Amino acid sequence: MRETHKSAVIGAAPEGARDTRAAASAVRQMFTAIAPRYDLLNHLLSFNVDHLWWRRTARSFREILWRPNSRVVDLCCGTGDMTFALRRQAGRTSPQLLGADFSHAMLQRARAKSATRSEENGTSLLGVAGWVEADALSLPFPNGYFDLVTSAFGFRNLADYDAGLREIVRVLGPGGECGILDFSEPKGLMGSAYRLYFKHVLPRVGTMISGVRGPYAYLPASVERFPSPDEMLSRMRSAGFREATWTPYTFGIAGLYRGKK
């Protein structure tokens, strides 16, 4: 019964949002509200495991990142942590790497982090070509432009998952790859402990530190609403990916969806 419900889900649905436009607006407002404490809370509430997930995801695409002149965009990039992980994995090569998000407040922080890290490392923006304010459902890029599209913990917040997948397919060139890192719901004892933490502890701590209740009540609901791995893989294939896989991270708390156009 639960899988049937999930398969009918269009996308994220914050409380009070009655259509996709209202859902997108509510998500933007939530992330604008928590932007000042976003990084601190991410690391604190994940016990810093999020760093491992970003690095592991970036390593999964090193063949593309090490390719000279490859084009890469990190969608729903937030404050840029996944974007920076991709740049570090690229090493001495110079892919055209962009970070894109529809929250102006989040991109401001990504740019500030870029400037700080540039001063520390003596490199220009750590090799990030730029930050683009853009909606992942309507990207300002031509067809077939990118070799790699990633998204870390942002795809789940799109108002229309299938439309988001189709847009990723549109901007990928033939043979281009996609990597979507997001939360899942582990099973067994780990799943029970995870749900207790995620539904009761995390919202309270997040609200206390950020001073904003809505986003941290929304987070566990959004994970529960998100399609199961099997359903997500089916949606990816329907969107136009000829290969689609899911690799669980940390007992299935998170996982990487990979697709090839």
Average pLDDT over residues 112-127: 62
- Give per-residue pLDDT as tens, 81-110: 999 999 999 998 889 999 999 999 999 999
Give the count of alpha carbons within 13 A of 37, CB side only.
17
The pLDDT value given to residue 11:
94
Q: CA-to-CA distance for 214 and 231, rounded, in angstroms?
A: 27
Residue 139 confidence (pLDDT) above 80: yes
pLDDT over 90 (residue 58): yes
Query: Do strands 243-249 and 254-260 pair parallel, antiparallel, or not at all (unpaired)?
Result: antiparallel
pTM of this prediction? Answer: 0.90
Q: How far, in Å, are 3, 178, 238, 242 from residue 234 at the CA level?
A: 13, 15, 6, 11
Q: Residue 120 pLDDT more than 80?
A: no
Give the contacts of 186 (CB within 8 A, at least 6 positions apart): 194, 248, 251, 252, 253
Domain span at residue 129? 2-260
> pLDDT category, 117, cuts 50, 70, 90?
low
Is residue 138 pLDDT above 90, yes or no? yes
* pLDDT of res. 121: 53
| pLDDT score recorded for residue 114 | 85
Q: What is the tally of structural domains in the chain?
A: 1
CATH number at residue 169: 3.40.50.150
The gap between the terminal CA atoms of the chain, to the nearest Å, is 32
Q: Which backbone phi and psi does 150 adopt, to 5 degrees? A: -120, 160
